[in-house]
A and B are shown apart, each in its own frame.
Chain A
Amino acid sequence: MISHSANAPLIEAKDLVRTYEVRQGMFGKATPVRAVDGINLSVMPGETLGVVGESGSGKSTLGRMLLGIDPSQEGETFFEGKPMPKLGTPEWRALRAKMQLVYQDPLAALDRRLTIAEQIGEPLAIHKLVPKEHRGTRVAELMVAVGLRPDQADRYPHELSGGQRQRVVIARALASRPKLLVCDEPVSALDVSIQAQVVNMLRDLQEKNGIAMVFISHDLKVVRNMADRVAVMYLGRIVEEASSDVIFAAPLHPYTKALVSSVPVPGKPLKGRVILQGEPPNPANRPSGCAFHPRCPLATDICRASVPPLRQVADGRTAACHLVAGVDQPVAA
């Protein structure tokens, strides 16, 4: 959704495209795979946009593209109204202080030979934010903010539990006081009781510091709890976007319906739920027309023939489906 309201978006992506070359076997012909295929989105300051989709939907690639880590072949990203500088340039490095990334696997994201205090303090040194003599105080502050005890400062990653490690990663991401946090499956590797602790902490930190967030996850329940707005991705495209209150209560796109229906709810029998047939399609072999049509229970001839554009279907709601009535013109110009 592109809004040109009075409040300017913090980050705005226009028609982002990312293509990878994929080879079948060692000597096979390289085929282009459009992992991200014309994505438009914007995030307001302090807002959380949830991105959901199955593996291969391009949601992680999208997250990296928003930060400029993965360059886009087409389209543009604007941060605070200015075009994103190229990867690796001094301007881009400077901007990275304002936008940070949190990955799923904290052990891989941390250096096992450095204490956690050294790692949390690293962005402060890299971006020359806090003079050396005050760094310890700021690190202690950050540790308390994410629910770690300052006396754990000299521990190494392997001495901490999974939940504590993720807290370290989050503290490090917050060190440079970012305006945007891209979280890629930040709680998926954690047990439910710990997951709830980290989700609550992220929400508190966000409220307190007014950080905007792009929250990427396959877990609909967690996304509903975190996000103000949710975009559903299928094969590199957004197929539906709406506020998280309405999208899970009344999904419009048949794929969103199936996703919502696939979440096992205690006490609700499996019968009567929409169980999709078939597998998520291979991005290298995109079906004609609407990419979802081979799995869609409602598909008709038009779905096989033409790609449905993402259209506004209600106030603040878009969907890309021929069978969902639009209210006006396609929004993706």
Chain B
Amino acid sequence: MVSNNLVELRDLKVAFDGIQVLHGIDLTVRRGEAIGLVGESGCGKSVTWLAALGLLPGKATVAGSVRVDGQEILGTPRSVLESVRGKRIAMIFQDPSSSLNPVLKIGRQITEALVLHRALTGQAAKAEALRLMDMVGIPDTRRRFDLFPHEFSGGQCQRLMIAMALAGEPDLLVADEPTTALDATIQAQILDLLIELRAETGMATIFISHDLGAVSQVCERACVMYAGRIVEQGTIEALFDNPRHPYTRGLFDAIPRLDGPRERLIPIPGTVPHPRDLPEGCAFSPRCSHAAIDCRSRRPDLSPMDDGRLLSCFHPVSHSTDLATVAANRVAEAVS
């Protein structure tokens, strides 16, 4: 029986040198869906997927469960991992030029993935590599097959990385800040490409980004992470129209707008805590305008709400009307 759940993360925990950085992530990726992971640097968005795919360095201790089609892959031997990594689940990163091998021709790097994951060789592999390059929008593929990575622009390198990721015909593509290093107009092209490829191939997508705008365009669902935990999870509409966690709300308020009146920005006061000295109770409480006494002593669980979202907060933002007061409080605190 093929279940609808492609990948299931259960209570995934990561510690570096004894310092806990990921505090139990539960996430289910269904076939073909696109999930965004948002949050600021150090919140654990990338670590979650590096841990799941066994890509963290040896000093990391990973616990919990990662199931792909029901099969546990965490702690399994390399051979099992290799049958998943690159084949079932592919990953692309922020800086494409450092992910490509600078001394190998681009054609050879793409064919390598085809040999490994699909046992294609010779002319068949080359033909498929050319098809993939064409699919991700590289013009004049025959001539460019024998070029080196430095002969491509940043945007094209990211397209080539995506072509390599597609080589194994993965069920899930994990894209870790794939557009952050690119120029605005190229960013739009790559987002467009990711949306198109998903529509064509039906693969699921995990889109890791700090850019809420980009996430809303690529994904149906999103998880907001803070200090190694998911604090809110729901559909894009639910999160964007009516964020309930004060951190989610704060992220939206902090983004300057391109339309409407030019107003003072509303920052979130303070900074993200170091994993070594996380505050008692809710990790966001020292920066939260809604925090009460209980937030500083007890940690709220991630629990389902009436509207289907998951939320981890004792005193959520109720609805948009009390925004003005929250904003006013924040401004007062933030000027510090």
Report A's interface with B, CB cutoff 8 A: 54-55, 147, 161, 163-164, 191-197, 199-200, 203-204, 218, 220-222, 224-225, 244-245, 248-249, 258-270, 273, 275-277, 279-280
Contact = CB atoms under 8 A, between A and B. Distances in A.
Contact of A200 (B185, B191, B262, B335): B335
Interface residues of B, number: 46
A48 to B, nearest CB: 12
Closest CB pairs A-B (n = 10): A264-B213, A196-B267, A193-B268, A191-B40, A54-B183, A196-B265, A262-B188, A197-B267, A196-B254, A221-B256
A144 to B, nearest CB: 10
A163 B254 CA distance: 14
Contact of A191 (B41, B265, B266): B41
Contacts of A147: 335-336
Contacts of A193: 40, 250-251, 254, 267-268
Which of B240, B256, B335 has the most chain A CB atoms closer than 10 A to its own CB?
B256
B153 interface: yes
B217 A270 contact: yes
Contacts of A220: 184, 258
B109 interface: no
B255 A221 contact: yes
A79 B269 CA distance: 38
Given A147-B336, A220-B258, 18 more contacts: A54-B184, A193-B250, A194-B40, A195-B267, A196-B267, A222-B256, A224-B258, A225-B265, A248-B259, A260-B258, A262-B187, A264-B213, A264-B216, A265-B258, A266-B216, A266-B240, A270-B217, A279-B156
B243 to A, nearest CB: 11
B220 interface: no
Interface in B263-278: 264-269, 271-272
A196 B266 contact: yes
A194 B214 CA distance: 19
A191 B210 contact: yes
Q: Is the interface of A mostly helix, strand, loop or mixed?
A: helix
B257 A279 contact: no
B241 to A, nearest CB: 8
A104 to B, nearest CB: 13
A36 B288 CA distance: 46
Given A54-B185, A147-B336, A279-B156, A263 B258 contact: yes
B326 interface: no
Nearest to A149: B336
Contacts of A225: 256-257, 262, 265
A168 to B, nearest CB: 14
7 contacts: A192-B210, A193-B250, A199-B265, A218-B184, A220-B184, A265-B258, A266-B213
Contacts of A218: 183-184
Contacts of B153: 279-280
Contacts of B336: 147
A279 B151 CA distance: 13
B185 A249 contact: no
B155 A200 contact: no
B334 interface: yes
Contacts, number: 128
Given A200-B335, A266-B216, A270-B195, A276 B188 contact: yes
Given A248-B258, A270-B191, A200 B334 contact: yes
B242 interface: no
A276 B262 contact: no
B254 A273 contact: no
A259 B185 contact: yes
B186 interface: yes
A251 B23 CA distance: 47
A262 B185 CA distance: 6
Which of A197, A222, A269, A275 has the most chain B CB atoms closer than 10 A to its own CB?
A197
B264 A267 contact: no
A270 B265 contact: no
B280 interface: no
A163 B271 contact: yes
Nearest to A195: B254
Contact of A194 (B212, B256, B257, B271): B271
Contacts of A163: 271
B274 to A, nearest CB: 9
B26 interface: no
Interface in B207-240: 210-214, 216-217, 240
B189 interface: yes
B146 interface: no
A303 B262 CA distance: 35
A266 B212 contact: yes
Contacts of A248: 258-259
Contacts of B334: 196-197, 200
Interface string B139-178: 0000000000000010110000000000000000000000
Given A191-B272, A224-B256, A267-B216, A280 B185 contact: yes
B294 interface: no
B186 A279 contact: yes
Contacts of B267: 193-197, 200
A266 B257 CA distance: 10
Nearest to B266: A196
Contacts of B41: 191
Contacts of B189: 275-277
A261 B265 CA distance: 22
Contacts of A196: 253-256, 265-268, 334
